[in-house]
Amino acid sequence: MSAVFRLPDLGEGIYEGEIIAVLVEPGQQVTEGQPILQIETEKAMVDIPSPYTGIVKEIPVQAGDIVNVGDVLMTFEGVAAEPLVMPPEKEPAVKPAAEKQPAVAPSRGPVPAAPATRRLARELGVDLRTVPPSGPAGLVTADDVRTYAQKKAVPAAEGPPAVPVTPSEIIEPKTFDFARWGAIEREPLRSVRRATAKQMAMAWSQIPHVTSQDIVDITKLEAFRRKHKTEIHDQGGHLTLTVFAMKAAATALKKYPRFNASLDTSSQEIVLKHYYHIGIAVDTEYGLVVPVIRDIDRKSIAELSVELKNMSERARAKQLTLEDTQGGTFTITNLGHIGGTGFTPIINYPEVAILGFGRAQMQPVVQEISDSYTVEPRLMLPIILSFDHRVLDGADAARFIRVIVEAFQDPDELLLMMT
C-alpha cells in the first residue's frame, strides 16, 4: 500500500521548520528509522527518520522550503504502516451513501493530528472531534487544542478568555515599497532568525514585561575566576561569569520558586517546577540559540564549566538536538563580552523571567571605612532581570536580584550557597 508522511508535531510549540537537506530520492528503498530529511527549527537541527520501510515515491519538498506541521514531506509505496498523523481509531465499516460529512470536526471517524497533539488532548480532557482544525488538510494542531480548552474552561458570563496569540495569528504591519526611495536588497527571513522573530513577537505580545536593574561589585569574584581558570581549563572547561551566574540563579530560584514557574492560562494556575534547568543564550553566526543545562543545583562549578563550553561549541556548530533546547525553566543571557552597559532582555516564553548581564567596567566606588570614606576602583557589573508581571511583582524581583548580588560580591558566600 501507499502512505503519506506529513511533518509531525515536534513539541514545545514548534509548528514549522526549514528543509535543510533531502537525504533520499524517489525510487530509493528505505527502512523505518532511516534519516530521510534534515529540518532546522527555531530550536535545533532535526534529523527526520522514515516512519516506514518501503520505497520513496514522491518528494514534494526541497532544500530551502518552509514546512508547517501537517505538510506532506514524502509519499511511500510498498508499506504496511498507517500514516503517522492518523489516529488509532477505526473508520466505520459502512457509511450511508446520503450521509453528509461535516466540514469541520466530524463526529466520528479519524481526526488528523500528531501523537503529541493527541497526548495533549487527553491531558486536557478535550475530544479532538470537537476542535476546529487550523492545520493543512484539516489537521488539528496543539495550539488548536490549547485554544479550545481555554475557551471551554472560562464561563460565558466572564466574557472571552485571553487566548494566547500564536505567531501565525500576529497581525503584520503594512509592507512599504522601499524601492521608491532608492536601491534595496531583500534576503529571506529564514531558519533561526525567522523562528526567533516569531517567538519574540509572541512573548512580547503575551507577557507584560517589567525590568529591574542593579549593579554589583565583582572585583573579588573576578580575582577568584582568574585564580581557578587554568585549573578548570585543564579539566576541559571554561570558567566564565555565566557559570557563576548559573549557580547563583539556582540558589535564588530555590529561595523564590515563582521565578522557576510558568503561567497556565487555560487552567488559571501557576506551575511551579521542582527542577532547575537553565537556558543559556548563545550568540552564533546564524542567530541566537538557547541550549539548556539541566539540574544546575546538582552540579559543581567544574562540571558546569565543561558542560557549558561543550554545549556552546555544539550550538555554534549547529549540532544541538531538539532535546538540548527543551525543558528550560529560566534563562540567562550575558552580553558583557560584546559590550554595552545594559539592555532589556525579552522573556523566553513560557518561562516567567530572564536574567541578563552587561559589560563589567572599572568604576570609582565610595567605600565606607569606620567613620570615613574612601574612593576605590572596583569592577562593577550591571544586572538586569525581566519578569512576567502577571506572576511576579517588583519587590519579588528586587529580592531575587539581591541573592545574585550577595553571591557575586563574595566568592566565599557563593561557595556556601552551593552546598
Separation between Cα atoms, residue 265 and residue 273, nearest integer Å: 16
Residues in CB range of 278: below 8 A, 6 or more apart: 246, 249, 250, 292, 293, 296, 328, 329, 330, 331, 332
Helices and strands in the chain: count of H runs, count of E runs: 8, 19
Sign of the Cα pseudo-torsion (84, 87, 88, 89, in order):
negative
Closest CA to 224 of 383, 378, 410, 357: 410
User: CB neighbours (10 Å) of residue 399?
Assistant: 14
Q: What are 325's strand-pairing partners? A: none
Separation between Cα atoms, residue 297 and residue 213, nearest integer Å: 24
DSSP string spanning 144-159? HHHHHHHHHHS-GGG-
Phi, psi angle pair for 225, to nearest 5°:
-65, -45
Q: Which of the residues 209, 228, 277, 389 is marked catalytic?
A: 389
Q: Is residue 389 annotated as part of the catalytic site, yes or no?
A: yes
Helix residue ranges per DSSP H, 63-109: none
Residues in CB range of 297: below 8 A, 6 or more apart: 250, 251, 254, 276
Q: Which residues are identified as catalytic?
A: 389
